[in-house]
Amino acid sequence: MTSGERAEGSDPVAPRRRTVLEVLRTAGAPLGVNEVAERVGVHANTARFHLESLVTRGAVERTLEAPSGPGRPRGVYAPRRGMDRGGRREYRLLARMLLSRLASAGADAEAEAVEAGRAWGRHLVDPAPPFHTVTGREAVDRLVGLLADLGFDPVSDESDDVPDVIRLRHCPFLELAEEYRQIVCPLHLGLMKGALAELDAPVAADRLEPFAEPDVCHAHFVHARAA
């Protein structure tokens, strides 16, 4: 495999691969490696490399032809029916569309964001075992684990039973938070509230201080009976 092939192999929409896929789509019947190579104008090994990459992406199916005589059945390739899953994604644009709509709700937007986060926090946190009473420290540790899994890079003071602050050193939605802070940050707060509520924890998320330091947000906590 050449360096060009390796570089193209890392790109799910490489021009050569699109050509191979288009050849299969217009063939009208499954094609073998040599047939694809001839129609594209490349070596058979190059055609096989791109075909297998398309199989891995789920854009192409590899099957065996029905035997027509002695010998091994030939492997052939055909495009998989359905939308190409290797194409470009625009999830950030989708998020901006939804956030802009939610932001237009005015005074209710923040409360709606908190409630959405609360529901997902309940869903995402690892539940405690049955008949187990979760301590404040355990609840914080479980929350820190959830936040770490989500990409917040959290740090809590392990010397305290229940820390007053968890420092969030990364925001997985940074660009969106900068544009729609009034929605994204309450969503994060709600997520923490929901996770702790699901654990029936003796600690509650009180408020989120966005960018309390240039590179850190502060999540503030209180004992649940004082929340």
Residue ranges covered by each domain of the chain: 3-79, 91-226
Q: Is 107 left (phi over 0), alpha (psi -120 to 50) or beta?
A: alpha
Q: Where are the alpha helices (DSSP H) in 32-132?
A: 33-40, 44-57, 91-103, 107-124
| Residues sharing a CB contact under 8 Å with residue 19, sequence separation 6 or more, in sequence order | 40
Q: What are phi and psi of 202, to 5 degrees?
A: -85, 25
**pLDDT tens, residue by residue, 186-196:** 999 999 999 99
Work out the average pLDDT over 50-67. 89
CATH number of 3-79: 1.10.10.10
HSE of 42, CA atoms in CB hemisphere, 13 A: 20
The per-residue pLDDT for 85 is 67
Q: Position of tokens 């194409």?
A: 87
Q: Which helix (H) or strand (E) holds 192?
A: helix 181-198
**Span 24-55, pLDDT tens digits:** 999 989 999 999 999 999 999 999 999 999 99
Q: Which residues lie closer than 8 Å to 54 by C-beta, 6 or more apart?
A: 17, 20, 21, 60, 77, 86
List pLDDT tens digits, range 196-221. 999 999 999 999 999 999 999 999 99
Please check the confidence at residue 78 and state whether its pLDDT lies above 50.
yes
- Please give the CATH topology (third level) of the domain spanning 91-226: Muramoyl-pentapeptide Carboxypeptidase; domain 2 (3.30.1380)
Q: Which of 40-44, 86-90, 113-117 has the lowest mean pLDDT?
A: 86-90
What sign does the dihedral 6-9-15-19 (CA atoms) show?
Answer: positive
Mean pLDDT taken over the chain: 88
Q: What is the reported pTM?
A: 0.69
